[in-house]
Chains A and B, each alone.
Chain A
Amino acid sequence: GEDVEQSLFLSVREGDSSVINCTYTDSSSTYLYWYKQEPGAGLQLLTYIFSNMDMKQDQRLTVLLNKKDKHLSLRIADTQTGDSAIYFCADLDSWGKLQFGAGTQVVVTP
């Protein structure tokens, strides 16, 4: 099946910017998403981008999409300890279901 891949771990200092990267293979993906999961919780929809866009900004979050390279990134500005969580990249496949990456564990250190 189609794959979504992301790095497994990111350590960042409080106040710095975090960048989480993701690659996908499904060229028919229409929407790409970033979800956040904190321990013991479900998935929180952070933001998403339509495939014909290059960038989307939402407060501290910036999503960049390079459709040619099938590369998606999420930048979190001024990272806080509350941003420590697992971040999942996902694409919406042609059947209308979400295909998730394995998740990136983000640890924010003081």
Chain B
Amino acid sequence: KAGVTQTPRYLIKTRGQQVTLSCSPISGHRSVSWYQQTPGQGLQFLFEYFSETQRNKGNFPGRFSGRQFSNSRSEMNVSTLELGDSALYLCASSLGGGHYEQYFGPGTRLTVT
């Protein structure tokens, strides 16, 4: 069974631009969560989607948004990029509905210059 895939793997953007990251969960998984990993703040939860609905949201500004499609694939968008948004963005998938094993993708490394 294929694992969680994330595209692109690397991205360089300029301050003020926007970016969209994509995550395809493991087949059959309906829950997708997004995390930001930085050296200073560690791993922080962004949001979680289940069956196209956002169920949880972390403490991030409104510039960070996401969505989930009917095939469970998810995208996250960051608008008006700031230097501090440079990070590894990880997505995790799980079956959802009470199943708590979360499997992570390889991440997207975003660099904002």
Contact = CB atoms under 8 A, between A and B. Distances in A.
Determine the main DSSP class of A at the interface with B: strand
A98 interface: yes
Interface stretch (B69-77, B78-86, B102-110): B102-110
Contacts of A88: 43
Contacts, number: 47
Contacts of A33: 102
Contact of B90 (A42, A92, A101): A42
Nearest to A43: B104
A96 B48 contact: yes
Interface string B24-60: 0000000001010000001101001000000110100
B80 to A, nearest CB: 25
Contacts of B58: 97
B105 A42 contact: yes
Contact of A31 (B33, B42, B100): B100
Contact of A98 (B4, B33, B105): B33
Contacts of A92: 100
A96 B55 contact: yes
Nearest to B101: A45
A100 B107 contact: no
Contacts of B55: 96
Nearest to A103: B42
A27 B45 CA distance: 19
B33 A97 contact: yes
Contact of A96 (B42, B43, B56, B106): B56
Interface of A: 30-31, 33, 35, 41-45, 48, 88, 90, 92, 95-103
14 contacts: A30-B100, A31-B100, A43-B90, A45-B101, A45-B102, A48-B101, A95-B56, A97-B33, A97-B45, A98-B45, A98-B102, A100-B42, A100-B43, A103-B42
